[in-house]
């Protein structure tokens, strides 16, 4: 059984998601230095957990109730049209502005001869499957895992936007 995320535990949940994200970044650096694949596997799981929490926080803010489930693509589909549109917009902008993604995309084209699938729907599916362990043993084959920072940025941006909007409404109503 998982903990349901609501307004009451939002701050703690966001801190946990950020902690998972930071720990994954440390593992990523270590994996690059040591070439230990188990660090990559752990990094993928931590990032998937982080995205799961961010997505359920966003759902709690967007729908004013907790989401029971963990597949980020399903949680995303349950968000309001406006929130899905904004997250997609933020994600697409972040991907377009990312030098890392542009370099990775170019390298992928050079090696594979085809464009990497980095559209939000595909990326959400891959991250959701990572938590299920479906791709746990082959993270190096998942180019979409490289778009973690862009997805995290889009989710956090929308979370902050909703929270600041709700805070403004509460202040004006007082």
**Lookup result for tokens 């349950």:** 78
Q: What is the pLDDT of residue 129?
A: 81
Q: What is the pLDDT of residue 118?
A: 83
pTM here? 0.81
Q: What is the pLDDT of residue 170?
A: 43
Check residues 91 and 133 and name the one with the higher pLDDT: 91
- Cα gap 156→61, rounded to integer Å: 12
pLDDT digits (tens, 9 = 90+) for 115-156: 777 889 988 988 888 877 555 555 444 666 778 888 999 999
Query: Domain boundaries in the chain?
Result: 7-173
In this prediction, residues 161-165 reach a mean pLDDT of 92
Percent of the chain with pLDDT over 90: 44
Q: How far is CA 61 from CA 2, 39, 108, 112, in A?
A: 18, 33, 37, 40
Q: What is the pLDDT of residue 143?
A: 62
Does residue 81 carry a pLDDT above 80? yes
**Lookup result for tokens 């889009």:** 154
pLDDT digits (tens, 9 = 90+) for 41-59: 788 889 989 999 999 999 9
Q: Is the four-CA dihedral 64, 8, 45, 159 of positive or negative sign?
A: positive
Q: What is the pLDDT of residue 147?
A: 80
Q: How far is CA 43 from CA 32, 124, 140, in A?
A: 12, 17, 11
- SS3 assignment for the chain: CCCCCCHHHHHHHHHHHHHHHHHHHHHHHHHHHHCCHHHHHHHHHHHHHHHHHHHHHHHHHHHCCCCCCCCHHHHHHCCCHHHHHHHHHHHHHHHHHCHHHHHHHHHHHHHHCCCCCCCHHHHHHHHHHHHHCCCCCCHHHCHHHHHHHHHHHHHHHHHHHHHHHHHHHHHHHC
pLDDT band per the 50, 70, 90 thresholds, residue 2: low
Tokens of 119: 């559209």
Percent of the chain with pLDDT over 70: 85
């Amino acid at each position: 059984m998982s903990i349901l995320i609501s307004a009451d535990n939002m701050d703690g949940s966001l801190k946990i998601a950020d902690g998972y994200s930071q720990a994954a970044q440390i593992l990523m650096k270590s994996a690059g230095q040591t070439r230990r694949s188990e660090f990559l596997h752990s990094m993928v799981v931590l990032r998937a957990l982080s995205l799961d929490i961010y997505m359920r926080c966003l759902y709690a803010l967007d729908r004013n109730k907790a989401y029971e489930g963990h597949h980020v693509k399903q949680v995303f589909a349950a968000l309001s049209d406006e929130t899905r549109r904004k997250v997609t917009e933020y994600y697409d902008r972040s991907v377009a502005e990312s030098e890392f993604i542009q370099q990775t995309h170019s390298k992928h084209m050079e090696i594979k001869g085809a464009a990497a699938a980095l559209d939000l729907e595909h990326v959400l599916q891959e991250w959701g499957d990572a938590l299920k362990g479906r791709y746990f043993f082959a993270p190096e084959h998942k180019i979409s895992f490289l778009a973690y920072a862009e997805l995290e940025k889009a989710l956090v941006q929308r979370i902050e936007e909703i929270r600041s909007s709700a805070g403004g409404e509460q202040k004006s109503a007082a």
